Every structure is written in structure tokens, then in C-alpha cells.
Amino acid sequence: MSIDRRKFLKIAGLSGIGLGLSAADSLVKGKAHASEESSLPESGVRLALVIDIGKIRTDEDYKRITDACHSIHNVPSIPNTKHEVKWIWTDNYEHTFPDQTNEFIPHEMKEKRFLLLCNHCAKPPCVRVCPTKATFKRPDGIVAQDPHRCIGCRFCMAACPYGSRSFNWVDPRKYLDMNKTNPDYPTRTMGVVEKCTLCVERLARGLEPACVEVSNGAIVFGNLADPGSNVRKILSTHYTIIRKPAVGTQPSVFYVIGGGENAG
């Protein structure tokens, strides 16, 4: 069948309009889809922590929680801050919630220290950038780290908006008393990245994460996908904030604010 120039241009023009319409259609649908999208996984489990900052008051409280985590996971205490390894740590209000720009917040809030750890995000950027899949998201929402596969490229550290990952610049064993380490848990080696794993090894044995266990009720652990869970109950009755909501990672660590005696 022969086709003349005039016919060809007609068909080409119509096809172009058709393509444009279909693209516009998918764009609209895509938008609608994005706004309705739930952060809850298909597995029906999204494990989360709710930290009631009013219930953690003294330095001993903070120390008890961070020490519990670091001692059972053999996390070394490296004095050089450029080399330090942190699974759970504290920082001030300004650094924890940089999006909260209200300068007239209560004084005690400005003075307060906040517990920080891996947020086990619903959309973890660290998982997206890891070239070896050493960082991966489990069906229960935990963002896990497999040191066996880590090649130490530190893309995940660059991707994490919360600074929740640490690179082993030095042999961690040099900073651990190997006679006092937890014999049930390995150390890490130089050249790998590590972070909080929400105590997967404890969850497997039916225990709660170590920080939750020693927090005297200040940290609550549970399944966000279960409307009847204790975390959902707290989230539905208290005002909570998450870290850096603007980056869209949807953290699974929530902070109950209110502070001081008003804290539930």
C-alpha cells in the first residue's frame, strides 16, 4: 500500500495527539495513586518505635538505654568523633528536628536531648542506593544491614538523611574489651557500615528491642499496621512528630512531644 506525504502527516499528527493524551492520563492516575498510597506493607507488619521524650529525663536514663544497645551489640566506644560508631545516640532539638522552625517553643524543649537511632523508614533511601543489597528492607519493615555483603562504599551513609549509619574506619576490636563483649553477637570488621537493626536477633527469640526493654516504658515497640497495637493507640491519642518529614522517607520512629509532666 502506498502512502502519500499528506496521509502520512495526518496519521503522524493523530498518533502524536494520542500519545500525548495517554501520557497525560497516566500522569493524572500516577498522581492520584501517589496521594492514596499507604506506607503500610502488604505483609501486614510494619514495626515501629514510639519514644515518649517526657519520660526520659536524666542522664542516667539516656545512658542506660544507649549502653544497653551498645553493650549487647558489641558497639565500640571510639573517642575520635570522626571514627565513632553509633547505633543509638542523643542530640539536641535543633539537630533532631531541623524542620521545626518555631523559635518560641518551650525552653525545656530547646534544652532537651533526644534519642536518635535508625528510623527504619517505610521508604529507605539507603536501600535504594546500596549496590550490593547489603542494606535491605525486611517484610516486617525493618531496614536490615548484612555486613557479609557490605563493600564499604558508604552510598547508604550519603543517602541517609538522619546520619544513622556508621562506617568502621578502624578495627572495632581495638576499642572493645574482648573479655567483656557479648559472646552471642559478633563484632564488625573494618570497612563495613553498621547501624541499628531493631534487635532482629532479639525479636527472633520473642524479646523486645533492648532499648525498649530498659526504657521503663518511655519507648514503646509494636506493629503500626495493626490498628489495635499499643503503638497505634499512643499515636492516635498523643501528638507525635517524626524527624525530617519533608524528605519523604516516612520514618517508623515517632516522638511523643508535650514534654515534662504533661507527657502521657
- Interface segment toward another protein; rule CB under 8 A; list 63-71, 108-116, 177-185, 214-222: 177-185
Tell me how far apart the alpha carbons of residues 217 and 114 are, in angstroms, rounded to a whole number. Answer: 16
Tell me how far apart the alpha carbons of residues 257 and 264 are, in angstroms, rounded to a whole number. Answer: 9
- Interface segment toward another protein; rule CB under 8 A; list 14-22, 92-100, 115-123, 176-184: 176-184
**148 in contact with another protein (CB under 8 A):** yes
**151 in contact with another protein (CB under 8 A):** no
**206 in contact with another protein (CB under 8 A):** no
Question: Does residue 54 contact residue 259 with C-beta atoms inside 8 Å?
Answer: yes
Q: Which of 18, 20, 106, 186 binds another protein (CB under 8 A)?
A: 186
Among 148, 150, 82, 88, which Cα is nearest to 119's? 88
Cell numbers for 53: 521524650
- Smallest distance from the beta carbon of 48 to another protein, in angstroms? 18
**146 in contact with another protein (CB under 8 A):** yes
**189 in contact with another protein (CB under 8 A):** yes
Tell me how far apart the alpha carbons of residues 8 and 1 are, in angstroms, rounded to a whole number. Answer: 12
Q: Restricting to residues 85-104, which ones interact with another protein according to CB under 8 A?
A: none
Tell me how far apart the alpha carbons of residues 167 and 190 are, in angstroms, rounded to a whole number. Answer: 8
**180 in contact with another protein (CB under 8 A):** no
- Interface segment toward another protein; rule CB under 8 A; list 75-83, 140-148, 209-217, 222-230: 140-148
Q: Which of 187, 229, 240, 249 binds another protein (CB under 8 A)?
A: 187
Cell 572493645 locates to 176
**144 in contact with another protein (CB under 8 A):** yes
Radius of gyration of the chain (CA): 23
CB 151: neighbour CB atoms within 10 A?
13
Tell me how far apart the alpha carbons of residues 113 and 108 are, in angstroms, rounded to a whole number. Answer: 10
Question: Does residue 197 contact residue 141 with C-beta atoms inside 8 Å?
Answer: no
Pick the closer one to another protein by CB: 137 or 243.
Answer: 137
Question: Does residue 47 contact residue 117 with C-beta atoms inside 8 Å?
Answer: no
- Smallest distance from the beta carbon of 179 to another protein, in angstroms? 8
**42 in contact with another protein (CB under 8 A):** no
- Smallest distance from the beta carbon of 158 to another protein, in angstroms? 23
Summarize as ranges the residues that interact with another protein (CB under 8 A): 136, 138-140, 144, 146-148, 173, 178-179, 181, 183-189, 200, 204
